[in-house]
Structure 1
Amino acid sequence: MSRAVRFNEVGPPDVLRVVDVDVPRPGKGQVRIRVKAIGLNRAESMFRSGQYLEQPKFPAGLGYEAAGEIDEVGEGVEGFSVGDAVSVVPAFSMNEYGLYGELVLAPAYAVVKHPANLSFIEAAASWMMYLTAYGALIDIAKLSAGDAVLIPAASSSVGIAAIQIAKMVGATPIALTRRSAKRAQLLQLGAVHVIATEEQDLVAEALRITGGHGARVVFDPVGGPTLAKLAAATARLGTIFQYGALSPEPTPLPLFELLAKLLTIRGYVLFEVTGDPARLNAGKRFVVDGLGEGALKPIVAKTFPLDDIVAAHRYLESNEQVGKIVVTV
């Protein structure tokens, strides 16, 4: 028996329970991992509350990211041995695999031997944020030196990853945050410019920073009425990636800006990349190289023990953190 997190109804963090479960031996194409650390993601709180891309099947587990050691290798799996230090890439349904637990199964294609310079906590904090940002900015937009990218919700783990990836390829990351309290920290984390959107004119500042041209790429997890301002701050022929819907308000289409500047507004989720083996492998290489070189450095806001999973999810939803929340096992 092993301890794991389960829930039997959608709802607030309080529906989560730590229970004893029987974890089977790994099947064909699977590995079993003795978990050391778990990375928390907004997608998991949405899954728990019934607001995600898929509905949970009860009793439900959850969790996309974990790091630990290989406990057993299933049939047909090559390249892994018992005791290997590994981390897991979000590339599966949480109705099939859930990584909130002491001992978990994972599909071998989603498992990576992370660089030796990473702690288990850092490794558990890496894959969702870096691959999400990589997929939009590098795989699709081909971000490069000289490009400017607007990054709303920049203090989130994915926002910080986008800042680091933009810097890694020589682009200019422009961090957006509601108030200036996080300005100094965002600059320290690599943002070249910071716009406090409740205190400054988003469009005027973005145009000033970019010499009147606007940003070629916008990487937005929020949506809502601010999309109109983002479109006004986007360059002609630019692309707006909408990868989340954190705003509870409707998201009107900025039709005038769309037509006048020939913009692309495109939906994007991580699984567009992780669901394609060739693109997933390219993403793994990019992130492993960046982590190994130190150009990508996971920022951990706070850690919680597994028994405090409810408190960890409450903190996840508080929006107080700068960086990743990790649960230790």
Structure 2
Amino acid sequence: MPRVVVFDEFGGPEVLRIVADPAVEPEAGEVRVRIEAFAVNPLDAMMRSGTSPAPVPLPHARLGIEATGVIDAVGPEVVGHRVGDPVIITAIPNASVRGSYADYTTIPASAVIPRPAGLDIPQAAAIWVAYSTAYGALVEEAKMRPADLVLISGASGAVGRSAMQIANQLGAVPIAITRHAARSDELRSAGAAAVISTDHEDIVDAVHRRTSGAGVDIVLDLVRGPGQHDLLKATRPGGILVAAGYLDPRPTPDFGDTPVTVINYRGFDHLSDPAVVGRMAAFLSAGVSLGALQPAIDEVFPLNDVVEAHRRFDKGLHAGKKIVLTTT
């Protein structure tokens, strides 16, 4: 009987348990995916702990918003997908019902794309959420261009690392922000053209020194909170700040009139638009083929060790890299 990870109450990793559930037959417009691997994301921990922005119905709630696998069954009226196709899952909006922490999930055919050649299974499981979020924020929203100076807060995380690679692929200049100078070399190796460590320097002063007082063209704010004020001051008049993360739990104040365009971005905003998903998929495939886009993997666990994987995530031991679980 296929395995599914579920939880019946909110809490720490120990609330997760593995049960046997039958695989669901696909209906019209759906495919069933035999999952080979899935990644742990912040939203998974939020759902499990009861802090998700969307309600999670209990009991028997599922988890998981990204995965890779092989199409196992195809429902009526599905075009362009066949049994045996290796795919990446792009969106599971009802993850509490169809989440990817399982041997199988049945989802709309529109929620899968072909798996790019050049990725192993753990990489394919870990690439979509971070890279699609960074791409959507920087390319679709901010219209990033070659030579743009791009300031990235929360750069050590999975989305921040993805953003640096995407900026480099398009010829922009990523400037990473970190709280710890000890991470500077790692961030440069990950693609940062420059690193600002807030334990040693002021963000605004550091940006103005590097830009002769002009400020950066684009800010990708993956933190929010009161610190957004400094990011706005580090942006040139007419520049763009895209807020796409919530690493700081404190409220983000309304800073009033600013010469900077502020965009609040949610990754799911674009995933219901087939045209945007198509552009994301093409960009991703090209970047993987060129070697420009490579997800950073922390540790790979078997599905049966899901509790240990979540403990590692909660403790922050993954250092912004992706934790992956395999089903075989």
Q: Same fold (TM over 0.5)?
A: yes
Structure 2: how far apart are the matches of 1:295 and 1:71? 31
TM-score, scaled relative to structure 2: 0.94
User: Could you tell me how far 1:253 is from its partner in structure 2?
Assistant: 2.4
Residue in 2 that maps onto 1:324: 322
User: Could you tell me how far 1:57 is from its partner in structure 2?
Assistant: 1.6
Residues 193 and 224 from structure 1, CA distance in 2 versus in 1: closer, same or farther, beyond 3 angstroms? same
User: Could you tell me how far 1:112 is from its partner in structure 2?
Assistant: 1.2
Q: Secondary structure at the match of 2:106?
A: strand
Q: Secondary structure at the match of 1:284?
A: helix
TM-score, scaled relative to structure 1: 0.94
Residue in 2 that maps onto 1:167: 168
Residues 199 and 318 from structure 1, CA distance in 2 versus in 1: closer, same or farther, beyond 3 angstroms? farther
How many pairs were matched up? 325
**CA offsets, 1:63-115, max 9 Å, x none?**
11111111111111122222221111125231342110112212211111112
User: Could you tell me how far 1:303 is from its partner in structure 2?
Assistant: 1.4
Residue in 2 that maps onto 1:34: 34
Q: Secondary structure at the match of 1:224?
A: coil
Say whether residues 1:300 and 2:301 are aligned partners.
no
Moved over 3 A (4+): none
41-50 or 132-141, larger mean C-alpha shift: 41-50
Q: Secondary structure at the match of 1:83?
A: coil
The percentage of aligned residue pairs carrying the same residue is 40
Residues 53 and 250 from structure 1, CA distance in 2 versus in 1: closer, same or farther, beyond 3 angstroms? closer
Contact 1:90–1:127 (8 Å) recurs in 2: no
Residue in 1 that maps onto 2:278: 281
Query: For structure 1, which runs of at least 5 residues remain unmatched after alignment?
Result: none
Following superposition of structure 1 onto structure 2, how do residues 181-260 of structure 1 map, counting pairs within 5 Å?
A: 181-255=182-256, 258-259=257-258
Contact 1:3–1:102 (8 Å) recurs in 2: yes
Structure 2: how far apart are the matches of 1:176 and 1:228? 14
Q: Secondary structure at the match of 2:227?
A: helix
Question: Among residues 265, 269, 284, which one is paired with 2:262 in the alignment?
Answer: 265
Residue in 2 that maps onto 1:46: 46
**CA offsets, 1:229-286, max 9 Å, x none?**
111111111221112222122322233xx43xx1122211011111222222222222
Aligned-residue CA RMSD in angstroms?
1.5
Structure 2: how far apart are the matches of 1:91 and 1:232? 37
Residues 314 and 130 from structure 1, CA distance in 2 versus in 1: closer, same or farther, beyond 3 angstroms? same
Query: For structure 2, which runs of at least 5 residues remain unmatched after alignment?
Result: none
